[in-house]
Structure formats: C-alpha cells, structure tokens
Structure 1
Amino acid sequence: MKPPSLTTIALALAVLAPMAPVQAETPAPAPALINGYQPTWWKEAVVYQVYPRSFKDSNGDGIGDIPGITSKLDYLQKLGVNVIWLSPHYDSPNADNGYDIRDYRKVMAEFGTMADFDKMLAGIKQRHMRLIVDLVVNHTSDEHHWFVESRKSKDNPYRDYYFWRDGKPDPAGKPGPDGKPTTLPPNNDPSFFSGSAWQFDPTTNQYYLHYFAVKQPDLNWDNPKVREEVYSLMRFWLDKGVDGFRMDVIPLISKNPAFPDLTPDQLHNYGNAYANGPHMHDYLQEMNRNVMAKYDVMTVGEALGISLEQTPLIVGDNRHELNMIFNFDAIRSNRTGRDFKPADLPTLKAIYTRHAEVLDTHSWDTVFLSNHDNPRIVSTFGDDSPEFRVPSAKLLATMLLTLRGTPFLYQGDELGMTNYPFKSIADFDDIEVKNAYKANVLTGKIPEDVFIANLRHTSRDNSRTPMQWDASTNGGFTTAAKPWLAENPNYTQINAAAEVADSNSIYNYTAKLIALRRAHQAFVYGDYKDIDPDNKSIFIYTRTLGTERYLVVLNFSPGPVAYTLPTSVKINSLVMSNLDTTSLITSTLNLAGWEARIYKLQ
C-alpha cells in the first residue's frame, strides 16, 4: 500500500482545521493578443521628452526647473501625451548638463528640491499621465562619493567601482613634473568627446576610463557591489512612483577588462566597438530580475552600437531585459559621420521597412527623429523656411504618430521650433562642441567657418535652446535678463501661446493626431506596409488591423505632386490633412508641397 502523498495530508489537515483555508490569489488573466502583440500601456503611449534646463524657469535664475515643469502640466495634458520622459534631474556639477551625476538620490539644486519633485510627480499622476526618468549608470561624475574615494588610493574599498589601469611606457621617455618617466594611456580607446578615453591621475599614477567627458568616469559593472548600488537607486525612484527609465548609453556597461587596442576598423566606428560587452545581456537580465520585474514599468535603452539585427536580443519578450531601445538608423540617416548631408527619403523609408521585417510581434519598436542630442526635427527632416515650416512640421508629426512603435516627441516639436542661427563658437554651450573645436579648429584641421556651418545642422545645442512659451522677453521662458542658453530669436513668431490659441497650429494638429492614434489601435498594433518604397518624394503606407484599414500619404517635397494610387488601393474617406483643403476621393491625389493626408480605406 502506497503511503499518503503530501498533497493528501495537506488536504486532510485543511478539512480538520478550525478555520477556513486561505485561498491563493488567482493571477489576473493576460489580456488577449492584438494582432499577435501582447497589449501593454507603454506600447500605446505617446512620450514627450522634457529637458528640464530648457523647459520653464520658475524663479528667474535663467535655468529651467521642476516647479516650471509642474506649471506646464496642463499644457502637456491638453496636447494628449501620456508619458513624460524627464532628462536628468539629479545633483550634478553640470560638466555634461546633468549626465554627470554626483548624487542619484538628490535633486539638482538649480532644479529645485525633492519636495518639488514629489509635487510634480503628484501633478502628473493627477492628470492620468506617467513619468519616466533618465538612468545614467554607465558613468558618474568625478565628484560622486564613489569616485572621490576611488581615486584616493589603490586599496580604497571603492577603487574597483571604476576602471583603473597602469599606463604604457612612453617611447620618448621624457620625465614628467615629478621627475618620473611619463606614460601613455593603457590603450587607444577614444572618448566620444574628443581625445583619449583615459585620464591620468597623479594621486596613484594610474589612468581611469571615461568614454565621455574627463569628469565622467565609467563605472565597473563587473563589480557586483556596483550593480547592487544601481539596483538600489532604481528601487528608490520606483518606490517614489516613477513609472520607468530611459537608460543612457546602456549597451556600454560591460567592458572587456583586458582593454586591447582597437583595430583601425573599430576606431572608425568605436561606438559599435564599445557596445555589446561580454556581460551586457547578463547584467540587463539581472537588472530585470532584481528590479524591473517587480514593478509595472516602461524601460527604453539608448542603444548606441546595437544593430537592428541585435535588437531582439535586448527587447524580445522572452529575453527579460528591456521593453524597447532607441535605434539611431533613422535619426542619423542624414549624417556622414559627424557631418550633415541632405535627407534621402528612400533611405529613410527602407529603414522603417527593415524594422517591420526584423522586429516581430515579440520585439517592440520606438519611433523618433529628435531628442536632446540631435538638432530640431523640422530643420533636419522638414523645411524650416517661412513658407513650409508649418506644413512640414505637421507632416513629420503625422509620420511619427502613425508609424509602427511607441512615438517619442521632444519638447518644442509640437510648436515647430527650429535650429538656432549659430554664428561663432561663443554661441555654444555643449562640451562636445567645445572639445571638438579645440581638437579640430584650433589645431588647423578644419576651418572655423566650415566647422560652424556644419554645427548649424548637427549641434545638440539646436534642441537645447529654451522653450518658446510666448512673445514676451526671452520667449516667456525666464524673467532673468539672460537665460542659460540664448533663446532662438524667432520666438516672437513661434511660441506656445500663439499656437494653443490657433486651431490650425502645429500644436493643435499634433493633439488631433494623438487622439486619432489613441482611438484606433490600427495605428498601434496594425500591420505596416510601404506601398511605393522607391519614390523619392512620396512616402505612402498602410496601417491595417482587421477591418480598420488606413492609408497615410506624405509629400516630402516643396512642389505639388499628382500621385496615382495603385489599382489595389481603394479610398473610402479622408480622415485628416495638414492643409485646409477639400480632397476629392479619386485615384489620383493632387498633393501640395509638404502635404500629409490620412485616409480610411475601403
């Protein structure tokens, strides 16, 4: 006779027990798939990036701050965005505008206090929006407590929180100021901000690694103590009610500790060489297990060096790493290295088609063409001339909000803000520009006028000029005599007050697009197909989900185009147009310059 099983014994005890058994909670059933996708809030979101230094100054010091953001939450709610991405708000010496963090649990004094942050977060929640914050953990500030301790001695408990290495012998053998022979950096790794990625520190006669500015030493993620410090600070913000993270240069967190010299090919594209270190996926999966899996969060990684083909390894449902990443193929499609080149529509279209082919229903995408590290979208992919600025800005909004993936808007996109008319190096704030100027102009490699002309198209400072709220002094951004970065002089014509009041403005058109996307899941989970990929002027594609079938037509040129639809495409009705025109439902579409239309198909 078999002895009773443990299950049988447990059931018998439950029957004999004097109190009713406690029933285990039944997990809520997963929502039904939509076109093969698992529906989630972050897939349906429209994200708006706030660069706090440039958004709104509340206290007249010329620097945007958190109370300023809180004062404009109604503006964002009316626009219709439901997730705000806040660029770094942490305590920082501002060597790289907040991306050099001194204290992850403290608000930058220029931006306000933790009480101000809590009030802003409460205001966001009250308006049924969510907040994600920047997670900058590839590096810290050199003023962070960990690095201050790390550089004191080779046996300091924080020494291996960072990468320290001996230098190589200098063949020249010249003695340094202390009389000892000088050394060369441990390898030939370059910094993204010019020069070597290694900085000599005389306290211990070793070099530390900094892929970015000298004041941004890279953390050593191979040290489990570092990883747990990061997970702890993530829990701190999530427990406050933050809804997730945008993760700065996250593919760079794992390094090859041997630090071999880069090959000539790797030096040509060192961003790719630095990404995908030997333990990157291990660390992201550990981060997910220890932190993200315990919260309902949105995570999006700045995926420097990650190819489209590698993307499913980070964002795939079964990988348990991140929800999404930013792939830079589209946003950099008009660059050759650091130099500007005119946008090519077939190239841009091919990128979106390739994304649809490579990323299946288990790998979610992002859609963006602007952020704090790139120039203004209308000046880059549109036409910022007085005649076409408004229609081309609306066309770009139409594309971003109807393509496949979670759309990300950058502050001022909804107004059609433009690039700044830079005239000299004195006009710039960006450390990347200043270092490149020293390395290229002062050494005679590039003429200054050529250098400045290229930056008018490419500089990050184009997107960092203050928000243009109204036609008053400094665009209503600040009451200070001078803002931290000059306001674009066109603020008297381009500003939020005028656009909110104008029913035909870019702002109100964008709000209608967001509402359309929210009302029709075809624009979120629907299939995507480019109908005419080789056309140099027209971008025409379908978004279809069951009986919901839409056609998006975009004329990426200033001239009129008579476009004949394929016989298989039958229009039912016009849903939206960026021009105030009456459109006949015919097989030939007579499109004005930079016209955008959305049709419902039969």
Structure 2
Amino acid sequence: MPDPTVPAPRHTPSAWWADAVVYQVYPRSFADGNGDGMGDLRGVTDRLPYLEQLGVDAVWLSPFYKSPQADGGYDVADYRQVDPLFGSLADFDAMLQEAHRRGLKVIVDLVPNHTSDEHQWFREALMAAPGSPERERYIFRDGKDQVPGTGDGKRAPNNWKSVFGGPAWSRVTEADGSPGQWYLHLFDTKQPDLNWDNPDVQEEMRSVLRFWLDRGADGFRVDVAHGLVKEPGLPDWEGVAAMVEGTSVPGRESHRPGDAPGAHTDAEEPHRAVSPMYPPSPFFDQDGVHAIYRDWNRVLAEYGGDRMMVAEAWVEPAERLARYVRPDEMQQAFNFDFLLAGWDAERMADAIDASLAAAASVGAPCTWVLSNHDTVRHTTRFGLKDPTTFPKGIGPGDEQPDAALGLARARAATLVALALPGSAYLYQGEELGLPEHTTLPASARQDPTFFRTNGAEIGRDGCRVPLPWAAGQPGFGFSGAVSAEAPAPWLPQPESFGPLAADQQDGEEGSTLELYRAALAFRSARHLGSGSVEWTDEHAPESGLLAFRNGDVVVLSNMGFASAPVPDGYAVVLSSGPEPAGDWAAMQEVPVDCTVYLQSRR
C-alpha cells in the first residue's frame, strides 16, 4: 500500500517548466535600449532574438518594479508599476508579447518578504499610531524595557542581525517627534518586513499575483521564499544571519530518522534535528510558509498555461527543500546544494543524488543552477585555489582567480548541469564565459551589504556588471551603437570583457557562446531534461571522475588530476574543451577539467 503521508506525483510530465532552460535577466545590466547607461525592458525586447538563438525556453526577469533602488530593485515601492529606469507597463507588455511570439515564457520576480520603506503602506504606518491597522501590516514592536509614556525602550526588541550586516531592527520617530517603536528588516533598513499573519498582506499579494498573471506572465520567482514567516514571540537567536555563510547554509539541519519528506498537513511539521553550529533560525524555513504557497497554488490554478512558481529558498537538507515543491505548493525550487558543491566530483555527485531523491519523493523535477545575481560567478569561483569555496564577493585585495582555469571548469560544469534531468537556470553572461569583476573600485560599489559591513563583505556588484555585446563600441555595446559621449554603463566593465563580447564569439568555433548553443540544442534533441540519471562503471568521484547515463548519452566529467580514457565502444559527440585535430570522435582521452558527452559507436 502506498505511504499515505507522501503526496502522489504530479501528473503533468508535459508542463513546460518541468524541463525548461530558464535564462535569468538582471534588467539593469542586460541591455540598454534608450542609451542612458541603464538596462531596461526595451533592451530586453531588442535582445530576444539572441535568447531565441541561444536555445533557452524562458526568461526570468529580476525586479523591474517602481523602487528607490536601495537594493537593486528588491525594495519594491509599487508592485504594479514599472520603474521609469526600466520603462513602462507598455514596454513590459510589448516585451512579453514579443517573447511569447518567439516561443519564450516569461517569469517575473516577486518580492513578498518585504517592501520598500517608500511603499505607500509603510508611509501610512509611520504616520499611524502603535497598534494601528497600518502598523500591523509590518512587524513593529516596542523596544525592550518599554514603559508607556516614557522615553525608554532604547534596546531593540531582540538580538537579530540583518542578512546584510548590522542590526535587523531600526527605531522610528513618531509623528509627535518622540522616539518610537522598532520595525524589523531582515535585509536593509529600507526593506521593512511584512507581517504575514495579517490578512491585508495575504490578500494584497494574491492581488499582485493576479495582476501579472492577467497581463500574461507565465510564472514567478519568489524571493526569500523561506523567510516570510517568523517564529511567534520573535525570540533571541545566536545563529548566523545570512542567506549563505561560506560554504554552509544557515539553519543547516538534518531530518530525524523516520520523518517522511512528503508528509504534508496543516499541523506542525516534523521536528528537526539541530546542528550544534547552526541552531534553527526563527525567521527562515518556518513551517507556516507552506500554507502561503498552498494558497498561491490555488491562485495560479485559476489560470491556464501551466503557470508556475520557483522558490528561492536557502534550505537544507534536500528533504526540507522538497517541502516547497509538493504537488499543492510551488512547482520548482532552486537547487543551491548543487551550486554550493563547487568543482569537486564527490560533492557534486552527493548533491545530484540527494536532490534527485528528495524531488522524486514529492513528484517534482529538480533544478540545476551554477550562478545568479547574488553569487560570485562560477567562472571565477572555479579558478580559485579552492574551487569549492563560496566567497561573498571578491575585491582587489583578495585572491585573484586563474581566469583560464576557471573558464575551463565552468564550461565543463555547464555540460554536467545541462545533461541532468529537470530544469536548468542560466545567469545572464555565463554563456559568454564572463568572469566576476574582481577589481571593481570601492567608489563604484552600490550593494548595501558593502556599506552595512563597512566593506568587510565585498558584496554582489561584481557579478552584476553590464554585459558586453560589441567589443569595438563604447561600453562594449551595452547601450547599442552610441557615441563616445553617451553615459557610461551604471557599473564599470573590466577590460577582460572585450574579447568575451557576444560579437566576438558569435559563429566562432570553440567559443563559450557556441558551446552553450550546441549543448542546449543537444539537450533539446535528446530530451535530457525529461530523462534520468544512472551512474556508470566509470563513475569514481573519489578519483575525480563523475560519470552517468541519461538515455543513450553518457556524460563523463574529469575533475581529477590526470586524463581519463574514453570508454571502449564510445565516441565523444560534444566536449567542453577545444576540439582536437580531426574531430571529437577521434578523442581517446578526456583531459582534466573537461566534460564530454559520449554515445555508443554501435
């Protein structure tokens, strides 16, 4: 008899998102359509032919909403308006229509954990009295030792720290000028957390979902999906307040033996065993978030076209993450275990096994991702002395990567990711082999983490540098063919971007761009996204060899220290390394830091 605690698998094998390749666009850095140095929606529309030719299935747009841009648009002032920096709602509609005409789905970013402090709701809260309905939309609290009618309460309500550094609480000045209550902001002071116990908040976000679904959006990437609900009482917590700390995820936990990862009720979730290093966080991965996503699932079900949600949830172990993708919640969740594995065969194999098993337990597809707008680009991480490290930015005074080594490993890791079943997410520019900008001057930095930590944490600007489209143009063509007097891109580009510009790689045999195009076409033709993984006899992760079969394709990735023989009876049909004299089919050895796709000669 089937285990009643495990939901039945989804019966939507043909849903577009199940094996889609999704390309992340960070709008301010993708393409500038009006020549002001800032990327925009017109720029996205102009470059849709490029994405279509690349071979992706969908485009995920990071926030383009009205915002003071204190955190790159993740501080939303109006969820229903496009910020003038990026254009207008008409520009969004035109972009969406053109994407759909070209067969591309469009996923928009949703930021439900917090708003901007310039959102109308927060302005109303500041003008209202403590305990008012306006303040109940956010998490306002009296300070410790607060005495009514006095100026006490000078200490924050608890000891929580912001993910961006510094305290997670700020005190307001009341309308009468007196020191007032404190509000919670797990991120920047300009990003007050919403109170998800409040019915107004719940109904407003349902309305926001419907607003974009009505316009034709195909899905949502949900920011900080694990952070909406806080533990009642907001207790003190001595853990690390970070989305990811080094190579570890906060709240690193393991399931108690016997817990069913698919169990799903409105009752309290199973107890979690606690690592002595990372006690459970009172503001991440609380069980109450799942009721929110069951509610949103019902909203999406009102619409046709297999609308979807993908969770940004830094949650471990994989069984905990699988809870976000049960059949009545989200459709996907980012697989950060795979991203954090680094260039290491054992760690990568363990991440693949754990991810596939956890996803299968709830009938969901896996996702595979190597970089995004919050992480040092994998092209650079893999070129460090320890290619499994996960630095929070790299600056001029830090270890500088071996660019050639990092690129070789990044290309090889990409072929592994694109051969795995499920959905793959690409971060803009990785198809060009772009590195992190590791020598960005402090004067150019804009990430609030840099300022809130007084530079101790370099931050994410280095992976957000505008893309190079044409090597011979100002700003490497980011703003199109404009004069040298045009505004410079909003972040400076390194000289190393010139040879990597799209026009230098287009049609160039062996270029990273052409490798991505070939790998995506191969993945589509062989239906690798809807296949399965079977480790082969060549699989020896302890020796640096990762080898698996997906359909009639064998993938062999050499992360070791010596070349590996091509298995008898097989020929190389695609390689991340340079093509040898003759052709790939003549290869007898797989070099170090290289991945190949193999097929039987018979």
Cα shift at 1:591: 1.9
Secondary structure of the residue aligned to 2:519 is helix
Give deviations 1:271-328, integer Å, cap 9, x for gaps.
66122224211111112123345342121000123531112322123xx000011132
What amino acid is aligned across from residue 539 of structure 1 in structure 2?
Answer: L
Tell me the TM-score normalized by structure 1: 0.81
Whether 2:563 is the aligned partner of 1:561: answer yes
Deviates more, 1:89-98 or 1:470-479: 470-479
What amino acid is aligned across from residue 70 of structure 1 in structure 2?
Answer: T
Cα shift at 1:390: 5.3
> Which whole-Å CA distance do the structure 2 matches of 1:416 and 1:264 have between them?
36
Cα shift at 1:179: 8.7
Contact 1:539 1:554 in 2 (8 A): yes
Number of the residue aligned with 2:294: 285
> Which whole-Å CA distance do the structure 2 matches of 1:473 and 1:371 have between them?
26
> Which whole-Å CA distance do the structure 2 matches of 1:265 and 1:497 have between them?
44
> Which whole-Å CA distance do the structure 1 matches of 2:438 and 2:223 have between them?
29
Number of the residue aligned with 1:43: 18
Per the alignment, do residues 260 and 35 of structure 1 end up closer, same or farther by CA in structure 2, a change over 3 Å counting? closer
Consecutive unaligned residues in structure 1, runs of 5 or more: 1-32, 335-342, 441-450
Deviates more, 1:522-531 or 1:86-95: 522-531
> Which whole-Å CA distance do the structure 2 matches of 1:385 and 1:584 have between them?
26
1:154-553 correspondence runs (5 A): 154=130, 156-169=132-145, 180-181=151-152, 183-203=154-174, 205-263=180-238, 273=281, 274-292=283-301, 294-295=303-304, 296-317=306-327, 320-333=328-341, 343-360=343-360, 362-381=363-382, 385=402, 387-388=404-405, 391-422=408-439, 424-437=441-454, 440=456, 455=458, 459-471=459-471, 472-478=473-479, 479=482, 480-529=486-535, 531-544=538-551, 549-553=552-556
Cα shift at 1:526: 2.2
Number of the residue aligned with 1:3: none
Per the alignment, do residues 134 and 202 of structure 1 end up closer, same or farther by CA in structure 2, a change over 3 Å counting? same
What amino acid is aligned across from residue 352 of structure 1 in structure 2?
Answer: I
Secondary structure of the residue aligned to 1:378 is helix
Number of the residue aligned with 1:595: 594
CA-based RMSD of the aligned residues comes to: 2.8
Cα shift at 1:231: 0.6
Give deviations 1:100-129, integer Å, cap 9, x for gaps.
000001001100111111111111011111
Per the alignment, do residues 404 and 433 of structure 1 end up closer, same or farther by CA in structure 2, a change over 3 Å counting? farther
Contact 1:201 1:207 in 2 (8 A): yes
Number of the residue aligned with 1:13: none
Whether 2:121 is the aligned partner of 1:146: answer yes
Tell me the TM-score normalized by structure 2: 0.81
Per the alignment, do residues 316 and 278 of structure 1 end up closer, same or farther by CA in structure 2, a change over 3 Å counting? closer
What amino acid is aligned across from residue 279 of structure 1 in structure 2?
Answer: G
> Which whole-Å CA distance do the structure 2 matches of 1:158 and 1:292 have between them?
31
Cα shift at 1:529: 2.5
User: Which has the greater radius of gyration?
Assistant: 1
Cα shift at 1:542: 1.6
What amino acid is aligned across from residue 408 of structure 1 in structure 2?
Answer: Y
Number of the residue aligned with 1:68: 43
Cα shift at 1:556: 2.9
> Which whole-Å CA distance do the structure 1 matches of 2:453 and 2:195 have between them?
27
> Which whole-Å CA distance do the structure 1 matches of 2:216 and 2:117 have between them?
29
> Which whole-Å CA distance do the structure 2 matches of 1:228 and 1:589 have between them?
61
Number of the residue aligned with 1:446: none
Cα shift at 1:367: 0.1
Number of the residue aligned with 2:389: none
Cα shift at 1:436: 1.6
Secondary structure of the residue aligned to 1:111 is coil
Secondary structure of the residue aligned to 1:535 is helix
What amino acid is aligned across from residue 98 of structure 1 in structure 2?
Answer: G
Cα shift at 1:260: 1.0
> Which whole-Å CA distance do the structure 2 matches of 1:110 and 1:121 have between them?
18
Contact 1:37 1:525 in 2 (8 A): no
Give deviations 1:186-223, integer Å, cap 9, x for gaps.
11111101111111112171111111100000111111
Contact 1:44 1:518 in 2 (8 A): no
Secondary structure of the residue aligned to 1:553 is strand
What amino acid is aligned across from residue 580 of structure 1 in structure 2?
Answer: E
Q: Percent identity?
A: 34
Cα shift at 1:394: 2.8
> Which whole-Å CA distance do the structure 2 matches of 1:147 and 1:77 have between them?
41
Contact 1:379 1:418 in 2 (8 A): yes
Per the alignment, do residues 460 and 309 of structure 1 end up closer, same or farther by CA in structure 2, a change over 3 Å counting? same
Cα shift at 1:493: 1.0
Give deviations 1:412-432, integer Å, cap 9, x for gaps.
010000111326432422111
Contact 1:256 1:278 in 2 (8 A): no
Contact 1:404 1:523 in 2 (8 A): yes
Deviates more, 1:304-313 or 1:575-584: 575-584
Contact 2:373 2:460 in 1 (8 A): yes
Contact 2:423 2:529 in 1 (8 A): no
What amino acid is aligned across from residue 595 of structure 1 in structure 2?
Answer: C
Consecutive unaligned residues in structure 2, runs of 5 or more: 1-7, 252-279, 385-400
Per the alignment, do residues 121 and 200 of structure 1 end up closer, same or farther by CA in structure 2, a change over 3 Å counting? same
Secondary structure of the residue aligned to 1:226 is helix
Per the alignment, do residues 423 and 224 of structure 1 end up closer, same or farther by CA in structure 2, a change over 3 Å counting? closer
Cα shift at 1:180: 2.7
Cα shift at 1:43: 1.3
Number of the residue aligned with 1:23: none
Contact 2:573 2:585 in 1 (8 A): no
Cα shift at 1:513: 1.0
1:75-154 correspondence runs (5 A): 75-153=50-128, 154=130
